Amino acid sequence: MKKIHVTASTEYDISIGSGVLDELGRELKGLTKAKTVVLVSDSNVFPLYGERCLKNLKESGFDAKSFVFKAGEASKCMKTYEELLEFLCENRLTRSDALVALGGGVTGDMTGFAAATYQRGIAYVQVPTTLLAAVDSSVGGKTAIDLKAGKNQVGCFYQPVAVLCDTDTLDTLPESEFRCGMAEVIKYGMLGNARFFSELLEKDAKAMIGHIIEVCVTMKRDIVQRDEFDKGERMLLNFGHTFGHAAEKCSGFSMLHGEGVAMGMATITKAACKLGFCDETTVEFMDKILDKYGLPKTIPYGVDELLDAALADKKIAGSEINLIVPVKVGRCEIEKVPSTALSDWLKAGGVK
Ligand SMILES: NC(=O)c1ccc[n+]([C@@H]2O[C@H](COP(=O)([O-])OP(=O)(O)OC[C@H]3O[C@@H](n4cnc5c(N)ncnc54)[C@H](O)[C@@H]3O)[C@@H](O)[C@H]2O)c1
Ligand SMILES: [Zn+2]
């Protein structure tokens, strides 16, 4: 097992390894005075790992209960959030009790937000079971739910008391979800670690998944420690996300997030080359790695559609957009671009 320590507004450990799930009760015991613990999970993940976690929590002396909701992004909403809060009230959770988020980013984001707001804040543990959640959403304390108006429109920064990432849980993850997680993994290589990027290109990702998670989590930890509240460097983690998110939006969110990120990374890299920020080999490397992991490179929407979607994005501050632009493999920069120039970037990226 590997432990990575985070020093943000609060401090916590991220434990990564096979069988870490069985440390849940013991870990929580050492961190809180909780009597009651509510395990929050979705309808796919609870049947796989829920009972094991409940048993483990009970063995550590907790009064463990579960709240299970229908799997999918549509559940990351006001209604499920409200049902969860009512459930916590019905079970008389006090401020010293705790929540456990067992699942992907949907479970983690919503549970984190409920933990942040229930009685002005109770402790929670992240137990990520998707690759995306392991390398990205479970670390750094961004919590949120969606509104009809858009994704993640309500939320706050609220750090967990621990993250337990059991790499064995990824064995049951559908292949398409694994691929999407790989899009985020590739993002880390491109924005800050050329050696890691080469490893991903040369080796089999599944055979070194623990190592992959450790590298990504360490990079994210370092970025979060320097910029917890997303004022500067943390924006680098949006590489591929401005155009990717616009494409997701155009698809009515039928496109998987990782597919959008992959297309977004390919498009911005191509545009960066055309506009003189990076050379042709950077584009070749990006295309090669996306091909290797079966990820899409072309956005199937037009410039006008994408612009409408992108300009409604919350990350667009005023009339300037922070585009994350690759300079070479292993290095990206934040480029302030007027929103009026966005169509030129899309066109340079090959979008019609
Ligand atoms: N907080 C952050 O910093 C941050 C960062 C990136 C993304 N996000 C959010 O994360 C969400 C996406 O996360 P996600 O991709 O994990 O989605 P998800 O939680 O919906 O999980 C994807 C699917 O995999 C299933 N699943 C999860 N673990 C499984 C397992 N071990 N075996 C079998 N099936 C499993 C789930 O039931 C679901 O159907 C989005 O809402 C996004 O906004 C948040
Ligand atoms: Zn993402």
- What's the pLDDT score for residue 311? 80
Ligand 2 centroid to 181 CA: how many Å? 9
Whether 138 is in the pocket of ligand 1, judged by its Cβ within 6 Å, is no
Structure tokens at 29: 């015991």
Q: Where are the alpha helices (DSSP H) in 170-302?
A: 175-192, 194-202, 209-226, 241-250, 257-274, 280-292
Whether 97 is in the pocket of ligand 1, judged by its Cβ within 6 Å, is no
Residue type, 145: I
Question: Is the CB of residue 267 less than 8 Å from the CB of residue 242?
Answer: no
Cα–Cα dist 6/200, whole Å: 25
Total H helices, total E strands in the chain: 13, 11
- Shortest-distance atom of ligand 1 to CA 143: 1
Residue identifier of the C-alpha nearest atom 5 of ligand 1: 137
HSE value, Cβ hemisphere, 13 Å, CA-based, for 127: 30
Whether 260 is in the pocket of ligand 1, judged by its Cβ within 6 Å, is no
Residue identifier of the C-alpha nearest atom 12 of ligand 1: 105
At residue 343, the 3 state secondary structure works out as: helix
Whether 183 is in the pocket of ligand 1, judged by its Cβ within 6 Å, is no
Whether 130 is in the pocket of ligand 1, judged by its Cβ within 6 Å, is yes
Identify the bridge partners of residue 98 per DSSP, sorted by sequence position.
37, 123
Q: What is the pTM of this model?
A: 0.95
CA dihedral (127, 131, 132, 133) in degrees, to 10, reads 0
Q: List own/partner pairs for 79-88 with CB under 8 A and 24 or more apart.
A: 80/110, 80/145, 81/110, 81/113, 81/114, 81/145, 84/40, 84/110, 84/111, 84/114, 85/114, 85/117, 85/118, 87/38, 88/38, 88/114, 88/118
Whether 119 is in the pocket of ligand 1, judged by its Cβ within 6 Å, is no
- What's the pLDDT score for residue 72? 94
Main-chain dihedrals φ then ψ at residue 15, nearest 5 degrees: -100, 130
CA 216 to chain centre: 11
In tens digits, the chain (352 residues) has pLDDT values of 999 999 999 999 999 999 999 999 999 999 999 999 999 999 999 999 999 999 999 999 999 999 999 999 999 999 999 999 999 999 999 999 999 999 999 999 999 999 999 999 999 999 999 999 999 999 999 999 999 888 899 999 999 999 999 999 999 999 999 999 999 999 999 999 999 999 999 999 999 999 999 999 999 999 999 999 988 899 999 999 999 999 999 998 899 999 999 999 999 999 999 999 999 999 999 999 999 999 999 999 999 999 988 887 555 546 788 999 999 999 999 999 998 899 999 999 999 9
- Shortest-distance atom of ligand 1 to CA 151: 43
Q: Which ligand is nearest to the CA of 142?
A: 1
93-131 burial, b for 16+ CB within 10 Å, e for fewer? beeebbbbbbbbbbbbbbbbbbbbbbeeebbbbbbbbbb
Whether 128 is in the pocket of ligand 1, judged by its Cβ within 6 Å, is no
Instruction: Name the residue of 42, 81, 106 whose CB sits within 8 Å of the most ligand 1 atoms, as the mutation to test its pocket.
Output: 106
Residue type, 235: M
Cα–Cα dist 87/98, whole Å: 13
Question: Is the CB of residue 206 less than 8 Å from the CB of residue 168?
Answer: no
Ligand 1 centroid to 275 CA: how many Å? 35
Whether 223 is in the pocket of ligand 1, judged by its Cβ within 6 Å, is no
Domains in the chain, start-ordered, CATH in brackets?
Answer: 2-172 (3.40.50.1970), 175-348 (1.20.1090.10)
Whether 152 is in the pocket of ligand 1, judged by its Cβ within 6 Å, is yes
Question: Is the CB of residue 343 less than 8 Å from the CB of residue 307?
Answer: yes
CA-based nearest residue to 134, from 244, 221, 76: 221
CA 249 to chain centre: 17
CA-based nearest residue to 31, from 164, 134, 123: 123
